[in-house]
Amino acid sequence: MNILNIDSRDLARRMRAQALQMVHRAKASHIGSALSICDIVAVLYGQVLRLDPKQPNAPQRDRFILSKGHACVAVYAALAEIGFFPVDDLLEYGQDHSVLMNHISHKVAGVEFSTGSLGHGLPFGTGKALAAKRSKQDWRTFVLLSDGELGEGSNWEALMFAAHHQLDNLVAIVDYNKLQSLTTVDKTLRVEPLADKFRAFGWAVREVDGHDHASMTDLLGTAPWEGGKPSFLVAHTTKGKGVSFMENSVDWHYKSPSPEQLEQALKELSHA
């Protein structure tokens, strides 16, 4: 099974434009959360994951789980842009009876697991990684978490479990944008010292700029970094990345762009 080898920067640009239009059309929330992860998701789908859009359920595919399911438009856009389903279907996002629901749904081709209630992706991914080991399969599992999500205790059970079972076929990434829904992670429930915590739990840990495609391609493409240990990538990101008036602002956790704001955002992206 192949890596698609798609230009991830170009993919991320297309994903951002699609995500903005989807959220605007559906009058939905979470555009800041989606823009935060477009670069990470584009690197994964373009340069790292082994998959085939023509065979979404191929047994040898790598598994990707978006645990911060509220940011689903980034993943729906990526899946459509690389051919899992027609790009025109994105217009149905958030409409009545559409499978493209406002939190990620496994009814969509290419999606492994439905999330939205935070704290479920890593425990599920850990089970997947254990199943691959036990059945002697070489596919890998990647889980993308948010920083505020780490307040859910279920993650810390999974962190212990994965290290105990030496799941070096598991890669977790935290989208470390330092913001939650209404204020900073620091003011809500402090997670620092984050990298040291993961290390103390027995994981191999690396830190990266979560908008630097070359560094992320290198790191994610070469995991596991330490034999017998699961890998944790702390990706430092900006919530709302790519649209000046959305960057680093909690407003865009819930707000949906007006027609004028959409136009302005798309103009900025086209000049990026």
Ligand X SMILES: Cc1ncc(C[n+]2csc(CCOP(=O)(O)OP(=O)(O)O)c2C)c(N)n1
**Which of these segments, 5-13, 76-84, 144-152, 196-204, binds ligand X (CB under 6 A)?**
144-152
Please give the single-letter amino acid code of residue 151: G
- Does 241 bind ligand X (CB under 6 A)? Our answer is no
Rounded to 5°, the CA angle 112-208-20 comes to 55
Interaction mask 175-214, ligand X, x per CB under 6 A = x-x-xxx---------------------------------
CA dihedral 134, 69, 180, 148 (to 10 degrees): -10
For residue 171, the minimal CB distance to ligand X (Å) is: 18
Closest to ligand X by CB, 102 vs 126, is 102
Using CB under 6 A, pick the residue from 55, 60, 95, 117 that binds ligand X: 117
- Per CB under 6 A, does 112 bind ligand X? no
Q: How far is the CB of 197 from ligand X (least distance, A)?
A: 16
Residue 103 corresponds to which amino acid?
H
Asked whether position 169 contacts ligand X by CB under 6 A, the answer is: no
Q: Token match 């977790």: residue?
A: 172
Tracing tokens 């999330």 back to the chain, one arrives at: 115
**Residue 234, beta-bridge partner list:** 174, 207
Report the chain's C-alpha Rg in angstroms.
17
By beta-carbon proximity to ligand X, the closer residue of 112 and 147 is 147
Residue type at 214 in one-letter notation: A
Tell how strand 170-176 and strand 204-209 pair up: unpaired
Please tell me whether residue 231 adopts helix, strand or coil conformation.
strand
Which residue among 147, 163, 205, 242 contacts ligand X (CB under 6 A)?
A: 147
Site of interaction with ligand X (CB under 6 A)? 33, 36, 68, 70, 116-119, 146-149, 175, 177, 179-181, 239, 253
